[in-house]
Every structure is written in structure tokens, then in C-alpha cells.
Amino acid sequence: MAYIKAISYYLPERVVTNEELVAEFPEWSVEKVAKKVGVDRRHVAAPGQTAGDMAEQAARKLFAEHGIRPADIDFVMLCTQSPDYFLPSTACVLQHRLGIPTRAGAFDYNLGCSGCVYGLAVASGLIEAGIARNVLLLTAETYNKYLHPTDKSNRSIFGDGAAACLVSTEGMAHIGQFVLGTDGSGANHLIVKTGAARHRQPTGQSVTDEQEHVWHDDYLYMNGGAIFNFTLDAVPALIAELLEKHHIGKDDVDYYVFHQANKFMLDTIRKIAQLPKDRFYNNLSQTGNTVSSTVMIGLRDALDSGAIRPGMKVMVTGFGVGLSWAGTILDF
């Protein structure tokens, strides 16, 4: 069986407050930003700071905070959509930088908002198959490097950050069964169009979508309406399938830690799924949407605050870019 043994996370030093954003976009107010997306401040990676750098910091915190030895790690996985290089894999670079033995396997995987839970699924498979005993699962993203300076909506939502989790043969939380899903027909709803092999060179072009949002080819574009509608279709069904797969009801789940997309989306999901507010994690205000790291940050914060305690069942879900979604139940 596979367990979460330890969790740590790292946030970059630079903090952008709502007051700073409003100074650039005076048509907004601090109150409007907070009410619209639920974020008061977000951390932003320094110009020369990469996802690999932040993942290294998160891993070193994990080792220091939980007494974990790099020598005991036998697999490294990094979820990121902002790798340090096209090649080699940033996970391979991190194996060397962190002093993890060369007998360890290592790879990156390109996934966003659902990536943490997908990573738990793969790490659990490695443990169950006897391929590894201690998997270092890392998530790190620098979406702010992909945002156009005039994109006030996404700049208000996204924060940079990294998380580190040790998945092992024993630990504090047993990892249950998974529900995973993909709908690539919605790939264009959250995309950076240029820079990779399909469109290698920047185009400098932009168009305005039906919501009056500007889609710049060379920067991150999110069709907020389409993503919202997808989420309202996918997540309630995901919740129902998870409960059925684990042979439990909603009342048997003690706490819910969902991907921290934005406040309005989380509130709507909670109301549609009829989940209790006092058992539903929401802490966007201090970090913003850190993409693949939100779930691990949420779990660690809930553990530290006492919201999650031994003996509790916790549902975790991720959903977004891909389009993709994933969930599982953790038994603490």
C-alpha cells in the first residue's frame, strides 16, 4: 500500500498585493479583486528563479522539516508546465542537485491543476508494483512568467510556488483509489500557444475572445467561462464517482481539499455538490492559484491548523488545464 509520509512547500519571497495590482489597473479596487477571485496577495518568482529552483527549495524543506535523507529516495517526479529546459528533464537535474542516489528513477510530467493528484496516482503505482519505496513527488510552477503585463485577470489569480511530498510504503495518510479524466477537446481553453514545437517562434499576434479578453499567442490564455463550465460538469461527477468507488457517502468524508482555482468557482462547486462549508478548505487569499501545488499546500496548512487530524477521511481533487481532472480519498 502507498502512503503520504510528509509534505512541505516553498513560496518565493516576492509578494504582489492587491494594492500593487490596483495601482496598475485603477479601474479595479482592492475590494473588487478580493471579492472576484478571493486573493489578497500572491507570491511571484524572481526573474532568474525557475520552477526547478523552487522545487529544490521545497524538497530541501521536506528533508529538513521531516528528517528525510536524500539517500533514501529512489524515485523523483516533477510536475511542471514551466520546466527549466526543453531537455533534459528538470527532475534529472534535481536528482543531482539534491544529492539523491543515481540508482533513483526521475522524470518530469507536463500537467497543471490536476497534476498533484495525477502524481499521487503514478507514485502509488510505483509503490504498489514494488518499483520504488520512497517517491519524491514535486510540483512547481512559474505561471507568472507566462502572463502578459496587461492581463489583469490572470495576474490577480495566479501565484508561483512549489510543493514536495514523500510517497512511501508507510506514513500518515493511506492513499485510496483514483478517478482520473481527460478531455483534450478543450485544450485551447487554457494554453500558451507559441514557444514549443507546434509554433516555435513568437507571433506577436492577439485576438479578443467572446468575453472581451485578449488572447495573446505568446502568453498564457484562459477562457474563464469555458473553464468554469467544464469544472461544473466534471467536478460534481468526480465527487460522486469517488464516493461510489470507496463505498462511502458524503457524510463519511471529514474534510475536502480541492484545487484552489478561484473563490467563485470553489464556492459554486461547494454549493452544487452540497458540501459543508466548515469542512471545505479555502485559503486562496494568501497564495493565489499556485496550479499543481495548491492541493499539497492545502493539505500541509490544514494539518498545521488542526483542520485535518488522525482518523479523518479527506477528499482531494484537481481540475483544469488539459482539460483534465483527478481525485482520491486519503485516510489519515
Q: Which residues are catalytic?
A: 113, 259, 289
Within 15-59, strands assigned E span 15-17, 41-43
Residue from 237, 297, 247 nearest 269 by CA:
237
The number of residues making up the chain comes to 332
Which grid coordinates are listed for 284? 486562496
Selection from 324, 331, 255, 332 nearest residue 116 by Cα: 324
On the 0-12 / 13-18 / 19+ scale of CB atoms within 10 A, 175 is buried
Cα–Cα distance, 292 to 195 (Å, whole number):
21
In order, the DSSP letters of 217-261 are: TTS-EE-HHHHHHHHHHHHHHHHHHHHHHHT--GGG--EEEE---
